[in-house]
A and B are shown apart, each in its own frame.
Chain A
Amino acid sequence: NAGVTQTPKFRILKIGQSMTLQCTQDMNHNYMYWYRQDPGMGLKLIYYSVGAGITDKGEVPNGYNVSRSTTEDFPLRLELAAPSQTSVYFCASSAPGRQGNTEAFFGQGTRLTVV
């Protein structure tokens, strides 16, 4: 029962460094999402994908890139880390049904600190 798996769980980056946050799901969901959560705030959508080969920007895409080459994987790339990207990152997946139920399943999160 893996569901949505994110790696790593924690990471400290120096300003200007790059890294990729990995996300994989085993539920054959077509929709996948990346959110970030800052302290005291709700989750904000960074990027999302409605299927393999299709990605689109969310509310806060600047400084990030994504790709979706397979149904299972949706990595998030930070090219030049900045302190403003210090946050907790959540990957999620869903398979919206005909009734519009959009229940999304979330990974455990990646806590990223940029110093």
Chain B
Amino acid sequence: DQQVKQNSPSLSVQEGRISILNCDYTNSMFDYFLWYKKYPAEGPTFLISISSIKDKNEDGRFTVFLNKSAKHLSLHIVPSQPGDSAVYFCAASSLSNDYKLSFGAGTTVTVRA
């Protein structure tokens, strides 16, 4: 029972353009959402997060939007850079579940020069 879903396995975008990654979840008890970035042969690194009481969080080129009614969140990267080429994982957690992270399957982003 996958509670966090990333339905796009891959995304190709031109350098300088916007990358939009999407994530859907089914568990309404989730109260914290995170995005992780992963390069090959490395562990995931934290990118940005959002609490369920907010609908937007911005950090430099990265913005996460949360639509609780639709159980949907998205990550916007503007402008996209070659170093952004990586696998991006969406994750969610809840206080009622010991803050365990549930991960989506990931989206591989390729930024073309």
Q: Which residues of A contact B (CB under 8 A)?
A: 4, 31, 33, 35, 40-45, 48, 50, 56, 58, 90, 92, 94, 96, 99-109
Contacts and interface: CB of A to CB of B under 8 A. Distances in A.
26 contacts: A4-B43, A35-B103, A40-B9, A42-B4, A42-B6, A42-B89, A42-B106, A43-B44, A45-B101, A50-B98, A90-B44, A92-B43, A94-B99, A99-B51, A100-B93, A100-B99, A101-B32, A102-B32, A103-B34, A103-B49, A105-B46, A106-B44, A107-B43, A108-B41, A108-B42, A109-B43
A96 B31 CA distance: 12
B26 interface: no
Interface of B: 2, 4, 6, 9, 31-32, 34, 36, 41-46, 49, 51, 89, 93, 95, 98-106
Contact of A102 (B9, B99, B104, B105): B99
Contact of B105 (A35, A41, A58, A104): A41
A33 B101 contact: yes
A90 B45 CA distance: 12
A103 B34 CA distance: 7
Contacts of A103: 34, 46, 49
Residue among B4, B45, B51, B93 with the highest chain A CB neighbour number at 10 A: B93
A109 B87 CA distance: 15
B33 to A, nearest CB: 10
A96 B24 CA distance: 23
A92 B34 CA distance: 15
